[in-house]
Structure 1
């Protein structure tokens, strides 16, 4: 596992040039897969506030919904995610195949599972963990929510779980829809290293060693991406974090690089620094 926390910042203008619902769903799917492949801890959707970004709030909510859908284990989706017209094309999304999306429907004692709290009584909470019967947690938990659990007992009459999550495997990402400016969204994470991706920044090969040293030292890293209309225009400098402006695609062969393409390319480079 990586020793740092990695947060990715995506603008709510990310989809503003794509109007077809199927294409919009597919583009978010590329982001979700990249987050899982490179083990991002958080994805923050910030308010781009560009004059051409007329539907920013709605688009931001859609991005969050699709990313949450992808991150939810298949066995919980029907219960945890209401049917919506906006999600009609989620069938084209690639599965994450992360450790919290188990293929085995019959877990063993000691396994970890995400579970959806169905109901509770005076003794505790009944939880759906994808088995043929509900598990029971001896704690009062909020119902209709997803929590992490460890299976402590499997018997004919009952399955017992306790709230817990593994610390040695990747357990998915958190989706934060802030609706705030980029700088104010950064304050939600409180990073100590911020990397702003821009074609006007230092070429990645010219500062690779210096940046890798910073990555080795820091505990919370934020990587920022702009939208389809321009690079990041907001000044995000702050004394609480080191700021680097980096071109992770020097010598690009196309006039523009789409946000989802920049995310995949950038995270693959940072994987070398973090691993």
Structure 2
């Protein structure tokens, strides 16, 4: 099951300065981490960008936030976008280290600091010192490359390089259509105040499909929700999109992700309002992430 969270490049459009914009992005990364999202995708909303904090700034700060603290200096160095990185809240992503020398153990990111002879490399993976590891057959590594390490014991250190995706939250930049068209998109949900209200009964129906297929949840920007980003002529246009639960005459018993090209205006399986009785005129994007991902993380 894969969980993807989609946020627009205009996410920080209302921020007064870089410090405030950085803090906001930190809470977005934190929400994605708390609810174990696999991907945090920044999709373009160029009409909503203010020019100061564009998609490049947003994705850079989010990538930095998702980088393990022990690798940040080595990976990022000094960058203008990261001037206020110190205000980012710690993600403290959960990691469990086993005691067996083979089999289970925690996956951890590392960075190659030195390539030596005889298929060995030195890797900084946040332990007290860089460790020397054998490179698996058919894996070629260069200095500065980020790698996945399975640590089965810390005392004594038992670890090995594995040919697997980097663990933890990944941050990508891609357009909305491509994100909705992925084979592992699962149930595609648009979070919007104009969507169908989330109820206990609807959540009970939805949870089984999410648990089986995963989900992709898209959010809008401040003062610019998804209907605006998708250029709907009116808020009523949301009513013409797919709704939940499926109609009785549908061929399927639930939401089935489609393959191939998806029109982003109608590429969602469900438009969902997770704060149906909001007491504030505006629910900020970072608040909407917590309000939406919390109930959708519940299982049967």
| TM-score, normalised relative to structure 1 | 0.81
Structure 1 residues 232, 172: CA separation in 2 closer, same or farther (over 3 Å shift)? Answer: same
Q: How does 1:202-241 map to 2 (within 5 A)?
A: 202-205=196-199, 207-218=202-213, 220-233=214-227, 234=230, 239-240=258-259
Is contact 2:96-2:106 (8 Å) kept?
no
The separation in 1 between residues aligned to 2:127 and 2:21, in whole angstroms, is: 33
Q: Extract unaligned runs of 5+ from structure 2.
A: 233-240, 243-256, 260-266
The separation in 2 between residues aligned to 1:42 and 1:149, in whole angstroms, is: 20
Structure 1 residues 200, 155: CA separation in 2 closer, same or farther (over 3 Å shift)? Answer: closer
- Look up the SS of the partner of 2:269 in the other structure: strand
Structure 1 residues 35, 126: CA separation in 2 closer, same or farther (over 3 Å shift)? Answer: same
The separation in 1 between residues aligned to 2:37 and 2:43, in whole angstroms, is: 17
Is contact 1:6-1:222 (8 Å) kept?
yes
Q: Extract unaligned runs of 5+ from structure 1.
A: none
Is contact 1:150-1:161 (8 Å) kept?
yes
Structure 1 residues 53, 85: CA separation in 2 closer, same or farther (over 3 Å shift)? Answer: closer
- CA drift at 1:225: 0.4
* Root-mean-square deviation (Å): 3.2
Match of residue 256 from structure 1:
282
Structure 1 residues 72, 216: CA separation in 2 closer, same or farther (over 3 Å shift)? Answer: closer
Is contact 1:69-1:77 (8 Å) kept?
yes
Match of residue 136 from structure 1:
132
Q: How does 1:1-275 map to 2 (within 5 A)?
A: 4-50=1-47, 52-55=48-51, 59-100=54-95, 112-123=107-118, 124-139=120-135, 140-151=140-151, 161-164=159-162, 171-178=167-174, 180=175, 182-188=176-182, 190-205=184-199, 207-218=202-213, 220-233=214-227, 234=230, 239-240=258-259, 243-272=269-298, 274=299
Structure 1 residues 152, 266: CA separation in 2 closer, same or farther (over 3 Å shift)? Answer: closer
- CA drift at 1:128: 1.0
Structure 1 residues 153, 203: CA separation in 2 closer, same or farther (over 3 Å shift)? Answer: closer
| TM-score, normalised relative to structure 2 | 0.75
- CA drift at 1:192: 2.7
- Look up the SS of the partner of 1:196 in the other structure: strand
Structure 1 residues 135, 61: CA separation in 2 closer, same or farther (over 3 Å shift)? Answer: same
- Look up the SS of the partner of 2:181 in the other structure: helix
Is contact 1:74-1:101 (8 Å) kept?
no
Q: How many residues align?
A: 258
For residues 242-272 of structure 1, what are the alpha-carbon distances to aligned partners after superposition, in whole Å with 9 as ceiling and x for unaligned? 6011111101111121111111110111122
For residues 146-189 of structure 1, what are the alpha-carbon distances to aligned partners after superposition, in whole Å with 9 as ceiling and x for unaligned? 22212478899xx774223999xx942110112x2x12232356
Tell which structure's C-alpha radius of gyration is larger: 2
Structure 1 residues 199, 74: CA separation in 2 closer, same or farther (over 3 Å shift)? Answer: same
Is contact 2:4-2:38 (8 Å) kept?
yes
- CA drift at 1:17: 1.5
The separation in 1 between residues aligned to 2:163 and 2:107, in whole angstroms, is: 7
